[in-house]
Amino acid sequence: MEISAALVIVQKYGGTSVGTVDRIRNVARRVLATQRKGHDVVVVVSAMSGETNRLLGLAQQISPIPDERELDVVASTGEQVTVGLMALAIHAEGGKATSLLGHQVRILTDSAFARARIQDIDVQAIRKAFAAQKIAVIAGFQGVDKDGNITTLGRGGSDTSAVAVAAALKADSCEIYTDVDGVYTADPNVVRNARKIDRISYEEMLELASLGAKVLQIRSVEFGMKYQVPIHVRSSFNDHEGTWVVPEEKAMEAVLVAGVTATRDEAKITLSGVPDRPGVQAEVLRPLAEAGIVVDVIVQAHIQNGRTNLTFTLPSADLARAKDILLKQCAGICPPEQLKSEENLSKVSVVGVGMRSHAGVALKMFEILAKENIHVHLISTSEIKISCVIEGKYAELAVRALHDGFGLAAGA
Ligand code: ASP
Ligand code: MG
């Protein structure tokens, strides 16, 4: 008789997968089916779909810029509801389960409210649940700082909770259950013949996640890569194999471009006539960094007489604040009439480890965009991606053209 070894499996269910009581029951059954195969199971859940937005909206009604410590107290309650309901649903199906909030597991984070980073996870409470044949149902998105304050990990943070728990437990796999069948070569809502990717490297996934693919929170992929946790992104509505996010494999290099993405709502600021001296870039970016504003593509172009133009992109949502900060704190470097900004931009990108070993990918991208008459504002590249900032209204056209042009379509 062959006895298969018990595995430790972490399953994360997103908001739509736990969006109704019926769906919670459905998840409870799936989770129990996994446990009945002899495995130790952790379930990490998000808030019911729409709930986190509703909670943040309530806070916003009281204060347009709410105190982030209190905001986290409010936002984290969505997951408290789902872990309780999930444990009850597992009981109702005849199983054993215990719910655990962030502070009960002890998911220790720093104190950066609304965007906290996980520092350490105590696995004792989880192991205790396993020892009692219980499923550990853990609230995603939330943690606790060293002073006992409740923190949250940023939007989409339950993915990171799940992968971090999997890393701490040295789990055999981390399954991220969602409402799509996996990671696609492009957003299937934009590109009808987009294809599900079977296997993708952490690095490519990291680029895709940072460049607009919303299926996984970026930090979850960072965790996966750092601790080599295999991540399986799949649908909670069927049993199809999804996409495995894994260490790079030889075959991945043969593919020039793995995926095409677009980010929306980008803005750009140009400071013209900036004195061209060492340290000037830091003087401009420091106050923005201190305000937590993340700038992205940075381009500096020389003009005459020791002066230069500095352009960078940032999220549209931060534009007003960034301009205000620059006008107040960098007036000496850049008087108001020399600060220009533009909104409604999009960054379209092609990503693939194959471009490390193939020439001409950038050229091909520019040719494809040119053929559609799309004007490129800014360009940025890394070893495995090329991004072009374009006018937002052409984003979907660009994504479709690139997806076709690089032969990514299903059946191509
Ligand atoms: N409920 C949180 C959010 O909506 C976290 C998550 O779902 O991953 O962002
Ligand atoms: Mg998500």
CA distance 388 to 296: 12
Q: Is residue 222 part of a domain?
A: no
Please say whether the beta carbons of 398 and 262 come within 8 A: yes
CATH number at residue 122: 3.40.1160.10
Could you identify the atom of ligand 1 that is nearest to the CA of residue 53? Answer: 4
CA 195 from centre of chain: 20
Burial of 127 (0-12, 13-18, 19+ CB in 10 A): middle
Any atom of ligand 1 within 6 Å of the Cβ of 201: no
Tell me the sheet residues that pair with 234. Answer: 177
Q: Is residue 223 part of a domain?
A: no
Q: Which segments in the chain show pLDDT lower than 70?
A: 1-4, 411-412
Q: Is residue 59 part of a domain?
A: yes
Between the CA of 350 and the centroid of ligand 2 the distance, in Å, is 22
pTM of the entire structure? 0.89
In this structure, which ligand is nearest to the CA of 45? 1
Could you identify the atom of ligand 1 that is nearest to the CA of residue 156? Answer: 8
Structure-token match 């690139």, residue found: 402
Domain edge (last residue) among 179, 212, 229: 179
Domain edge (last residue) among 179, 210, 232: 179
Please say whether the beta carbons of 343 and 389 come within 8 A: no
Structure-token match 């409402």, residue found: 179
Q: Is residue 290 part of a domain?
A: yes
Residues 166 and 312 occupy one common structural domain = no
Please say whether the beta carbons of 45 and 139 come within 8 A: yes
- Its domain, for residue 354, covers 249-412
Ligand 1 probe mutation, 11, 12, 46, most atoms within 8 A of CB: 46
Domain edge (last residue) among 150, 179, 208: 179
Between the CA of 322 and the centroid of ligand 1 the distance, in Å, is 27
Q: Is residue 374 part of a domain?
A: yes
In this structure, which ligand is nearest to the CA of 179? 2
Residues 270 and 385 occupy one common structural domain = yes
Indicate which residue's Cα is closest to atom 9 of ligand 1. Answer: 155
Q: Is residue 228 part of a domain?
A: no
Per DSSP bridges, beta strands 307-315 and 259-275 are antiparallel
Q: What digits encode the pLDDT tens for the residues 15-51? A: 999 999 999 999 999 999 999 999 999 999 999 999 9
Any atom of ligand 1 within 6 Å of the Cβ of 102: no
- In this predicted structure, what is the pLDDT of residue 3? 52
* Tally of domains within the chain: 2
Residues 258 and 390 occupy one common structural domain = yes
Residues 163 and 258 occupy one common structural domain = no
CATH number at residue 293: 3.30.2130.10
Residues 398 and 260 occupy one common structural domain = yes
Closest CA to 326 of 277, 278, 290, 299: 290
Q: Which two tokens stand for residue 15?
A: 């908001």
Any atom of ligand 1 within 6 Å of the Cβ of 127: no
Residues 166 and 303 occupy one common structural domain = no
- In this predicted structure, what is the pLDDT of residue 317? 93
In this structure, which ligand is nearest to the CA of 140? 1
Could you identify the atom of ligand 1 that is nearest to the CA of residue 47? Answer: 1
CB atoms within 10 A of CB 368: 18
CA distance 267 to 371: 25
Residues 153 and 274 occupy one common structural domain = no
- In this predicted structure, what is the pLDDT of residue 333? 86
Residues 157 and 284 occupy one common structural domain = no
Per DSSP bridges, beta strands 385-391 and 339-351 are antiparallel
Residues 175 and 277 occupy one common structural domain = no
Indicate which residue's Cα is closest to atom 5 of ligand 1. Answer: 156
- In this predicted structure, what is the pLDDT of residue 238? 92
Q: Is residue 208 part of a domain?
A: no
- In this predicted structure, what is the pLDDT of residue 213? 84
What are the two backbone dihedrals, phi and then psi, of residue 235, each rounded to the nearest 5 degrees? -85, 145
C-alpha distances out from residue 84 to 48, 137, 278, Å: 12, 8, 56
Q: Is residue 215 part of a domain?
A: no
* Amino acid of residue 38: G
CB atoms within 10 A of CB 247: 12
Indicate which residue's Cα is closest to atom 8 of ligand 1. Answer: 156
Any atom of ligand 1 within 6 Å of the Cβ of 140: yes
Residues 286 and 143 occupy one common structural domain = no
C-alpha distances out from residue 116 to 28, 49, 87, 166, 260, Å: 29, 22, 26, 18, 29
Largest CA distance in the chain: 83
Closest CA to 45 of 101, 88, 95, 7: 101
Residues 155 and 260 occupy one common structural domain = no
Residues 27 and 173 occupy one common structural domain = yes
DSSP, res 196: B
CA distance 163 to 107: 12
